[in-house]
Amino acid sequence: MTTSILTRLQEARESRARRRVLWRELSAYTTAGDLNDIEAAIARSGDAEADAETQEIRRFLAAQRNSSRAA
């Protein structure tokens, strides 16, 4: 049982680290054109709708759009 908990904890840490890297990389894209280009690339990538990372990117893009509107 302890190994299972430790494994889940390690996986959660790795997942958070991957998200931080992804958000850091995507934070360079701030203009509406940049964000539209990323959205278009995601749309062309096939069954990206079900992919967890794609959903994370879409959440980030929405946050970027909202923050740029508020500024």
What is the model's pLDDT at position 20? Answer: 92
Q: Helices (H), strands (E): how many in the chain? A: 3, 0
Is 0.85 topped by the overall pTM? Answer: no
Q: Which domain range does residue 36 map to?
A: 18-70
Q: pLDDT tens across 20-56, in order?
A: 998 899 888 888 899 999 989 888 876 656 688 888 8
Domain count, the chain: 1
Q: Is residue 42 part of a domain?
A: yes
Average the pLDDT over 58-70 and give the result. Answer: 83
Q: Is residue 36 part of a domain?
A: yes
Euclidean distance between the first and the last CA atom of the chain, given in angstroms as a whole number: 49
* Angstrom distance (rounded) from CA 6 to CA 2: 6
Rg for the chain (alpha carbons), in Å? Answer: 15
